[in-house]
Amino acid sequence: MAATSYAYRGLEAVEKKDWAAAVPLLDKALEGSNSPLWLLARSHAHLELKNYEDALRDAELAYHVAAERGSGRKQMIDAQYRRATIYHRLKQYADSDCCAKWSMLLAEGRPAREDDGVEKNVDADGYYTVTYEDAVADNANQPDYSMRESLKDPGVKDPNAKTIKTGFESQWKRAYTWRTVVLGILKRLPKNDPGRKVHVSKIPPKPELKKVEKKAEPLVVELDSEDEKPVAKPSEPAPGSVPDEKLKLRTDFYQSNQNVTVSLFVKGTKKEELNVKFSKNQVQISPIARAAAPYVKPGDREAFSTLHLSGEINPAGSRWTATPSKIELVLQKATPGKWGSWGKEEIGIVENADQEEDIEEVTPSSSNQASAPAVKPAAAPAYPTSSRTGPKNWDKLEELEGVEDTESDVNAFFKKLYKDASPEQQRAMMKSFTESNGTALSTDWSDVKGRKVETVPPEGVEVKKWDS
């Protein structure tokens, strides 16, 4: 997996506050690139895991890498702010305030190497002398200063204030607020508390990127048949070493009254090797090249997925397609209607003894192949009536009860799906929905960008042009 893929998953874990999962993913990403953004994300994760030494190392290295690149002022501002939060956790409050002040100065556009003397505000005994009142009043150079109120007349905009715009107004306010918190704590501390001592410098010593120690792999010794010299080969990780929850695939689905379309997102799929078997309430797929366990072989348990469906399907009327990035299943419902969800995935083969005779292996469908014939459901009974319109199917009428509510729920679902999607997914949804005349909806841009999405009408409906 590429460094950017690990980084994306690591940043996503940080956003979800899954700190323990974020660190190893960002470790992998940083083996390929010293990105300041990735370093700061890992620093945040280490901070929340109380690995303060590692958190500080990452923040300081992020500062240096951003400075060396020459276009990373925002990362430099963020790195100083991260130092401030780490020193706060370490109860080094004077150090925390110094770093927050340096974050403010960078946000104001001041030179990074300027000797501003922030850390020199100490008395003869080395205790920090900056007060809470000093921090509150320290707003003369706030970016976009003209929007602030006059200090002399609160509530009145200051007409004489300078306009300073740097693009880092929010970062300045964040550091300014942090200083009031830290100096508020200092205000309550005894005068000789160790937290009042200053130990930091504006530009920290550049640390080395911490290398993640890899455990030595056990060796398997084989004998060469010719000269009988031992040949050492590293053994592969044992199958089962990755939890099943991490092996499960990312999925998406949509449905009509007749079909459920399930997308399984998995990279490295080889269509010609894929084996898909449908039964009434299960789908078995193999082999699956799982990103979480790249050492998995086709015969291993982890290479199989059993999909437990929320309802019964018609195996003969179902089909599948595959691309290098996903597998798509089109499942024909045995009974028309709505499902609450498509179902759930279980790792490995789960036998379904009651329905072995119904299991059907289906070849992938394509635009040049006719899909499997649909099986018409048995006609519902018609009951005698004196109505002019003839016999009524009361079972059908019962099915139609609450249609308005169902349509409302579906509309709400698609609105939420579009709102929560990424710009690329939204583009895919718009293209697929428009080109298919509202009969298909895909969130995979890589799948639909290079082709026209065909109209797939419901069973029994014929496609005609508007003017025909």
d(CA 232, CA 252): 45
Q: What is the pLDDT of residue 411?
A: 63
For residue 432, give its domain range: 410-468
d(CA 467, CA 319): 32
Q: Is residue 5 part of a domain?
A: no
CATH number at residue 188: 1.25.40
pLDDT (tens digit per residue) in 236-258: 555 566 788 888 888 999 999 99
Residue 68 has pLDDT above 50, yes or no: yes
d(CA 138, CA 108): 12
d(CA 35, CA 62): 7
- Contact between residue 283 and residue 258 where contact means Cβ atoms under 8 Å apart: no
Q: Name the residue among 29, 81, 98, 35 with its Cα closest to residue 62.
A: 35
CATH number at residue 315: 2.60.40.790
Q: Which long-range contacts (CB under 8 A, 24 or more apart) does 128-135 make?
A: 128/93, 128/94, 128/97, 128/186, 128/196, 128/197, 128/198, 130/97, 130/183, 131/183, 131/187, 132/180, 132/183, 132/184, 132/186, 132/187, 134/183, 135/97, 135/176, 135/179, 135/180, 135/183
pLDDT (tens digit per residue) in 193-233: 999 999 999 999 888 766 555 444 454 444 544 444 554 44
Q: What is the pLDDT of residue 270?
A: 83
Q: Is residue 454 part of a domain?
A: yes
Q: Is residue 281 part of a domain?
A: yes
d(CA 255, CA 332): 10
* pTM for this model (two decimals): 0.46
Higher pLDDT, 88 or 431: 88
Q: What is the pLDDT of residue 244?
A: 80
Q: What is the pLDDT of residue 399?
A: 39
Which ranges of 376-402 does DSSP label H, i.e. alpha helix?
A: 394-400
Q: Is residue 277 part of a domain?
A: yes
Residue 58 and residue 166 in one domain: yes
Q: Is residue 275 part of a domain?
A: yes
Domain count, the chain: 3
- Contact between residue 230 and residue 243 where contact means Cβ atoms under 8 Å apart: no
d(CA 114, CA 202): 9
Q: For residues 304-325, give the mean pLDDT.
A: 91
Domain finish residue from 329, 348, 375? 375
Residue 39 and residue 174 in one domain: yes
pLDDT (tens digit per residue) in 2-30: 778 888 889 999 999 999 999 999 998 88
Q: What is the pLDDT of residue 356?
A: 42
Residue 38 and residue 177 in one domain: yes
Residue 65 and residue 122 in one domain: yes
Q: For residues 298-304, give the mean pLDDT.
A: 77
C-alpha separations of 411 from 343, 415, 433 in Å: 21, 6, 14
